[in-house]
Amino acid sequence: MNINIVPLPEDRQKPLFKNILDVPFGSMFTDRMFLMEYNKPEGWHSPTIKPLENLSLHPGCLVLHYGQEIFEGLKAFYGKNNKIILFRPEMNIKRFNRSAERMCMPELDENDVMEAIKNLIKLEKRWVPNQRGASLYIRPTMIASEVGLGVRASKDYLFYVILSPVGPYYKEGFNPIGLYVTKDYIRAAKGGVGEAKTGGNYAASLYAGEIAHKKGYSQVLWLDAQERKYVEEVGAMNIFFAFRNRIVTSPLTGSILGGITRDSVLKISNDLGIEAVEKQLSIDEIIRGIESGEITEIFGTGTAASISPVGHLSYNDRKYIINDGKVGPLSQKLYNFLLDLQYGEIEDKYNWLTYID
């Protein structure tokens, strides 16, 4: 791929953050973006890295009306010896293509996407925060850019990558958050698009999210759409329940987003002497487990928040406290190990790291 690089005028360089921990998640962007276009005769063409700027879109283009959009989220870490590290980026690129297929969008060449990300980050290296717990969040996005008000798949698309230096996802940092269980609303049903990272899933979740926020909870814990019985995920994170030394997460049933952090936790647990299983759990089992003390910890997993301990949850207007509202030992152990891996501080024995030279 031959990327056209539009130079950034010296005076367009934005001032860096002073303290990344004071910057709300995803509110600050770097100086440049990657952009590439698609149409039927040419396929993907004109890959460009240029100063970050607004897109110019016709108000009738398909993404704005029917939501044909997909995205990814991955991170670059400032590792040992000033090395910039990507964590399992090939997994994000593969998932992006799976999302594209589900949303009738054109797939991308995996190597091209990797090259786009690497080249962009090389140019934006000064934006990767040199601090544990902070990183450069990478947001590849594809939108339907053809104009039309008839419901159909677009013939034209834009693919772009923007970068955002970030600290912790939740204002709580690595402190337990509260989850709100709802039976009134659902996130995704089997046969729908819950498995794809597509904008509509998040738009559909906002209403219940607002209810949760008003009641003082960070996120909604979603139940399955059919029976409203089995716990699925948290809408930006997958969810694990610890029964002492055994951690349990839902299998990928078709309505859950298959997280890369989820997959990593399942794989590293064994090596940390933790038993990890994929098994459906009903909300009743979970409530009983919390009440009996059998459930010793709950935590979410996702790129944005890495491991996010859960201190309490609300179900049927009752509040249930987990592990006295404190960070539990398994959450702490997995968090430390995952970060050690991501920042290149321990041996990369899974071969998960991609270094940007």
Ligand X SMILES: *Cc1c(COP(=O)(O)O)cnc(C)c1O
Interface with ligand X, residue 237, by CB under 6 A: yes
Distance in Å, CB of 318 to ligand X, minimum: 26
Using N-to-C axis directions, what is the helix angle for 329-342 and 260-271, rounded to 10°?
A: 110
- Can you tell me which of 303, 308, 314, 323 binds ligand X, judged by CB under 6 A? 303
Kindly provide the b/e burial profile for residues 281-299, where b requires at least 16 CB atoms within 10 angstroms of the residue's own CB: bebebbbebbeeeebbbbb
User: What's the first-to-final CA gap in the chain, in angstroms?
Assistant: 18
Q: What is the DSSP letter of 251?
A: -
Determine the Cα–Cα distance for residues 326 and 274; give it in Å rounded to an integer: 20
Q: Strand 69-71 to strand 84-87: parallel, antiparallel, or no bridges (unpaired)? A: unpaired
Contact set for ligand X, span 250-279 (CB under 6 A) = 257, 259-262
Contact set for ligand X, span 61-90 (CB under 6 A) = 73
Cα 112 to chain centroid, rounded: 21
Interface with ligand X, residue 220, by CB under 6 A: no
Nearer to ligand X, 44 or 180 (CB): 180
Nearer to ligand X, 124 or 195 (CB): 195
In the numeric block, which tokens belong to residue 186? 């659902």
Q: Which residues pair with 116 in a beta bridge?
A: none
Interface with ligand X, residue 32, by CB under 6 A: no
Closest chain position to ligand X (CB) = 259
Distance in Å, CB of 319 to ligand X, minimum: 24
Interface with ligand X, residue 99, by CB under 6 A: no
In the numeric block, which tokens belong to residue 314? 């609300």
Nearer to ligand X, 48 or 174 (CB): 174
Interface with ligand X, residue 233, by CB under 6 A: yes
Nearer to ligand X, 67 or 148 (CB): 67
- Can you tell me which of 235, 309, 328, 344 binds ligand X, judged by CB under 6 A? 235
Interface with ligand X, residue 193, by CB under 6 A: no
Distance in Å, CB of 260 to ligand X, minimum: 3
Using N-to-C axis directions, what is the helix angle for 260-271 and 89-102, rounded to 10°?
A: 140
Secondary structure of residue 48 in the 3-state scheme: strand
Nearer to ligand X, 25 or 48 (CB): 25
CA distances from residue 221 to 212, 235, 299, 317 in whole angstroms, order as listed: 10, 7, 11, 14
Interface with ligand X, residue 236, by CB under 6 A: yes
Interface residues with ligand X (CB under 6 A) are 73, 197, 233, 235-238, 257, 259-262, 301-303
